[in-house]
Amino acid sequence: MAAGVARAQKHAPWILLSPSLVTIGFLLIIPMMFIVVYSFWLRTATGADQVGFYLDNWQEVLSDRFYRDILLQTLKIAFFTTIICAVVGYIPAYFVANTKMRSKTFLLIMLMLPFWISYIIRTMSWINILGTSGAINGLLLWVGIIDSPLNMLYNQTTVILGLVHYLLPFMILNVYVSLEGIDKNLTEAAESLGCNGFQAFREVTLPLSFPGLAAGSLLCFVLASGTYITPLILGGPRDAMFANLVFEAIITQLNWPLGSALSLVLLVLLGALVVIYTRYLGVDQIAKSFR
């Protein structure tokens, strides 16, 4: 009897976890295994896949300068996007967290508003703003500052701009949650000990909000690194990101094995980043902003 109870208690966690494990297994692990298996197949000249264990795709992806350069370009774009999101996003997050206005809920809803509009539509809106006959050129021409429209679209800057527009709410929400959790007495204590407002912010608020800033940065970096729509819509011929190569390998070239190897490279790289983050800051900080 006692042995049976002990055995049941021993297995209880697994039984309770089983729905989650089955879901994760079917929706994440098994599809991922398919991708891993695919990456070792070969695409033949006829377009059919040759089943087997071939290292050709991996050899190509890991040794070819083309893939390395595009990967570095992707990381560079994601890095600058993240930095801009952190700097630009901190200000509204700080304002919302510290406002005495009664309409704080309204401000938070405003932050969520962009999520209700399609990402593609939001990205395309920049064409109407920055285009030759867009709002900015129209205004500058009307005021007489310029004689002919400026070419502002389809370059790396517009790609970063589009990504910042897409990812800024993620950063603001993470920082806001972190700022909300800071005990206001700590800032007041710092000021009572002689700090001015800026010093109190630098010595108390900023360090304590760092986990939120880091969580937002991680989200922004990972999402920016995996995007392909923004460079497709707002980029020029040379502004591709790594996900565009995955798209092309799978959709245009029908080379699923190579596309699988490419997507796994990106997955491993970003996964490593998440592991490092979790090791030092804990992944629960990201979850807080969605509670």
Q: Which stretch, 22-30, 201-209, 246-254, 271-279, contacts another protein (CB under 8 A)?
A: 246-254
Among 5, 252, 280, 291, indicate the residue that binds another protein (CB under 8 A). Answer: 252
Closer CB to another protein, 132 or 199, in the complex: 132
Give the C-alpha separation, 244 to 66, whole Å: 13
Residue 153 is a binding residue for another protein (CB under 8 A):
yes
Closer CB to another protein, 173 or 250, in the complex: 250
219-106-89-137 Cα dihedral, nearest 10 degrees: 110
Among 19, 47, 144, 194, indicate the residue that binds another protein (CB under 8 A). Answer: 47
Among 81, 174, 255, 285, indicate the residue that binds another protein (CB under 8 A). Answer: 255
Binding string, residues 101-140; x marks residues near another protein by CB under 8 A: --------------------------x---xxx-------
Whose structure tokens read 């879901």? 23
Closer CB to another protein, 150 or 208, in the complex: 150
The two three-digit tokens of residue 173, written as one number: 């929400």
Q: Phi and psi for 49 in degrees, rounded to 5?
A: -90, 135
The two three-digit tokens of residue 280, written as one number: 């030092």
Q: Phi and psi for 50 in degrees, rounded to 5?
A: -100, 115
Binding string, residues 202-241; x marks residues near another protein by CB under 8 A: ------------------------------x---xxx-x-
Give the C-alpha separation, 212 to 291, whole Å: 14
Least separation in angstroms between CB 27 and another protein:
16
Q: Is 2 helix (H, G, I), strand (E, B) or coil?
A: helix
Q: What is residue 167's DSSP assignment? A: H
Q: Which residues contact 264 (CB under 8 A, 6 or more apart)?
A: 35, 36, 39
Among 43, 162, 219, 222, indicate the residue that binds another protein (CB under 8 A). Answer: 43
Closer CB to another protein, 152 or 274, in the complex: 152
249-253-257-262 Cα dihedral, nearest 10 degrees: -10
Binding string, residues 57-96; x marks residues near another protein by CB under 8 A: ---------x---x--------------------------
